[in-house]
């Protein structure tokens, strides 16, 4: 077994790699907020995600605000997963059923491996909170360039539920497992997308 070289990397009781604290990037998807005149538009979903991670000692490395547009979302997430200082990416917004809700498609186009259990568990937890409306959530997750990516709805309740009950407890383990074969390397390749 390769010895961990990053001081944030350790192993859990099962011998699996864990990264803690995590370096996190948050992408808020909202055309109205992206078009806002103020320098720092209101971002309750992103703030909730940041609060949940920071409460457990993780560090927010980047926050990005983009409009509801497939190419724009994909480009933002693709740039973040390629960074060495980002272990996890969480998006908020654009997971519903309207024509401009394209976050799941944009992020999933980058996934090397899907994490279908996340969406299933999230909708199960949402059922307890919002009943049948949970079926309209297209929250999803996967691994892109060895980085866990979670795509959440825009509501603060949804962000809090997903982060507190699912993502924050499990993300250090997922990030460690996803990068276990990269311990000691110095770059992340975008070759899966035909880019270097």
How many angstroms separate the Cα of 31 from the Cα of each of 35, 69, 187?
Answer: 6, 8, 33
Is 195 inside a domain boundary?
no
pLDDT of 179: 86
In a domain, 190, yes or no: no
Write down the pTM of the prediction.
0.88
Q: Which two tokens stand for residue 13?
A: 């009781």
pLDDT of residue 45: 97
What tokens does 84 get? 């060495």
* End-to-end Cα distance, the chain: 28
Which tens digits make up the pLDDT trace of 132-164?
A: 988 989 999 999 999 999 999 999 999 999 999
Residue 192, domain member (yes or no): no
CA distances from 129 to 28, 104, 166 (A): 23, 22, 15
> What are the pLDDT digits (tens) for 93-120?
999 999 999 999 999 999 999 999 999 9
Q: Is residue 145 part of a domain?
A: yes
Banded pLDDT at 33 (limits 50, 70, 90)? confident
Domain CATH number, residue 99: 3.40.980.10
Whether residue 165 lies inside any domain: the answer is yes
Range of 89's domain? 22-179
Specify the 3-state DSSP secondary structure of 1. coil
Q: How confident is the model at residue 30 (pLDDT cuts 50, 70, 90)?
A: very high
Structure confidence at residue 1 (pLDDT)? 31
């Amino acid at each position: 077994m390769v010895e961990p070289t990053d001081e944030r990397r350790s192993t859990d009781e099962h011998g699996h790699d864990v990264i803690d604290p995590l370096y996190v990037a948050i992408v808020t998807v909202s055309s109205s907020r992206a078009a806002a005149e103020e320098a720092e538009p209101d971002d309750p979903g992103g703030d909730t995600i940041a609060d949940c991670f920071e409460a457990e000692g993780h560090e927010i490395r980047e926050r990005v605000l983009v409009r509801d547009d497939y190419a724009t979302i994909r480009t933002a997430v693709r740039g973040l997963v390629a960074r060495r200082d980002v272990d996890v990416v969480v998006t908020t917004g654009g997971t519903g059923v309207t024509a401009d809700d394209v976050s799941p498609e944009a992020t999933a186009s980058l996934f090397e491996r899907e994490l279908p259990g996340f969406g299933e568990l999230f909708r199960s937890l949402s059922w307890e909170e919002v009943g049948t409306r949970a079926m309209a959530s297209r929250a999803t997750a996967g691994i892109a360039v060895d980085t866990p990516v979670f795509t959440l709805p825009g509501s603060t309740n949804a962000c809090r539920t997903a982060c507190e009950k699912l993502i924050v407890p499990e993300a250090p383990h997922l990030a460690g497992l996803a990068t276990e074969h990269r311990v000691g390397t110095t770059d992340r390749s975008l070759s899966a997308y035909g880019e270097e």
